[in-house]
Chain A
């Protein structure tokens, strides 16, 4: 084979740490009960951060309102379970579908403008949606949250248990399938065109890439991912509150992605693990001030650079070239 053909094959091949990661994540299901709730939380946060990675890490669209789609997915799944059917997969699909529509509709707002414009527009969209939910207490449950969400068994045979084992298996499998999808997408010509747009939209256009169409497509796609994460949260906790639209949720997911590293596909997962475990661990000895340490870590990561802090790890994983 030619050098080019070989290089292109090599670019898309699986790396062993990826395989190890997923084996470990599934092996955790065999543990005794006790940690499934937090693992479920990590899987959902990771999917949410993966969604942000698609637009921020790959296409370069900054957002401070990504919770908009998370919230839409959560309420859609919650309402469906409360009023129509408790089937989890139906809720997952519908949550993703509605978020996709909202994502497409608002994608037109982020096409133009500077990073600052995009930050404000995305922030504004999330605020508007949150306030709409707040203004419709009959539908959303208002400040009390959506009560009475009851989930049926997964695939008709796995009940959601008190320890969260089913919940974790469900969220993890969803995360796995969406990561596979994202992996395929970012390694495709479409994914490469996003990477080119983030780095130099002028040149991407000069190579024939229809920049706006690609941005609309990826923004819509990311909304579907975020809506799915929101639906998972609603279903596995059997509860939705206005909190799903809150600013802190958009900020947290951005934090998670930056800690894990944007633009290499596994940053969302790495960030979600680090962030949640830190939060859990620090909160154990200093419950009030855990954000101090998260804040410090964030500053260190951004200023010193992840490369210098954990560059060796990334090099081992074979992703060093991108960092």
Chain B
């Protein structure tokens, strides 16, 4: 198995606070890996370092063998490192059609295309159709995003990232806040992600983690505490102590 995403001694300090502490982490091609940890463990900071929202204090980030530590966020996206957001970051009065077409166009034509209308470039409409179909958005393509049911918005959140053709997809609590009735759609969409896309799931919801992940990394106080298969993590005494507490899973 080849490694697609790797951090080497990645560290982030905010003044005296060590938010990310010397994290060396690997994600393999086709991975279904989860990153878990109690509140304040530094999961969000870690994701922000990976995606380039925050600069690292020290250490390296490698994507597909290239050093991306200092690349701007959009450059990382173009190289295939794409994220979704825990709280929807959508364009309220644009439509899913526009949102997806934007992501596809940025990738296909560099997005700087101004002489031709949106969708005039060869494969864009077909790719939008395909992504919308995969995430069950075909029936709401031309509705305003902020009028969609929350579950559909969560699906669009993932679909927009998927439209960027990720090599590595970072899913930040994809099912957060979704009503029970719509939850199944999200879980199915995640389960149906193509095998070749490597997925890192950042999640609180233990049911989702243990149903999805084949490998789990536990982050505590900014440092990696332990990594391993779900069964081993569930049984790990340190994990149970700091994280799972007494509500044992698995």
Contacts and interface: CB of A to CB of B under 8 A. Distances in A.
Interface string A202-241: 1111111111011001000000000000000000000000
Q: Which of A10, A205, A207 has the most CB of B within 10 A?
A: A207
A267 to B, nearest CB: 15
B74 to A, nearest CB: 5
A84 interface: no
B239 interface: no
B182 interface: no
Nearest to A217: B112
Q: Which of B100, B101, B102, B109 has the most CB of A within 10 A?
A: B102
A161 interface: no
Contact of A207 (B119, B126, B164): B164
A2 B115 contact: no
A192 B98 contact: yes
Given A2-B129, A5-B129, A7-B97, A196 B102 contact: yes
A11 interface: yes
A192 B83 contact: no
A199 B92 contact: yes
B141 A3 contact: yes
B82 A7 contact: no
A148 to B, nearest CB: 39
Q: Which of B93, B111, B124 has the most CB of A within 10 A?
A: B111
Contact of A193 (B97, B111, B124): B111
A4 B113 contact: no
B160 interface: yes
B119 A208 contact: no
Interface in B46-104: 51, 53, 72-75, 77-78, 82-83, 85, 89-95, 97-103
Interface in A162-219: 184-185, 187-193, 195-196, 199-200, 202-211, 213-214, 217
Contacts of A193: 102, 105-106, 111
A190 B112 contact: yes
Contact of A203 (B85, B95, B142): B85
A12 interface: yes
A208 B164 contact: yes
A214 to B, nearest CB: 8
A185 B114 contact: yes
A203 B160 CA distance: 10
Interface string B5-27: 00000000000000000000000
Contact of B111 (A2, A185, A209): A209
Contacts of B98: 11, 192, 195
A8 interface: yes
B240 interface: no
A9 interface: yes
Contacts of B114: 184-185, 188-191
A8 B105 CA distance: 12
B106 A208 contact: yes
A19 to B, nearest CB: 18
A308 interface: no
A321 interface: yes
Contacts of A184: 114-115, 117
B216 interface: no
Nearest to B160: A207
Given A4-B125, A208-B164, A199 B91 contact: yes
A112 interface: no
Nearest to B116: A188
B199 to A, nearest CB: 16
B118 A207 contact: no
B89 A203 contact: yes
Nearest to B114: A190
20 contacts: A1-B125, A2-B125, A4-B97, A4-B126, A12-B119, A188-B113, A189-B112, A192-B105, A193-B111, A196-B94, A200-B89, A203-B89, A205-B72, A206-B161, A207-B160, A207-B164, A208-B74, A208-B103, A209-B102, A210-B75
- Which 8 residue pairs spanning A and B have beta carbons closest together? A8-B119, A5-B125, A189-B105, A190-B114, A203-B89, A208-B77, A12-B117, A4-B129
Interface of B: 51, 53, 72-75, 77-78, 82-83, 85, 89-95, 97-103, 105-107, 109, 111-121, 124-126, 128-129, 132, 138, 141-142, 144, 160-161, 163-164
Interface of A: 1-5, 7-12, 184-185, 187-193, 195-196, 199-200, 202-211, 213-214, 217, 321-322
Given A202-B89, A210-B111, 4 more contacts: A8-B128, A12-B119, A189-B118, A321-B93
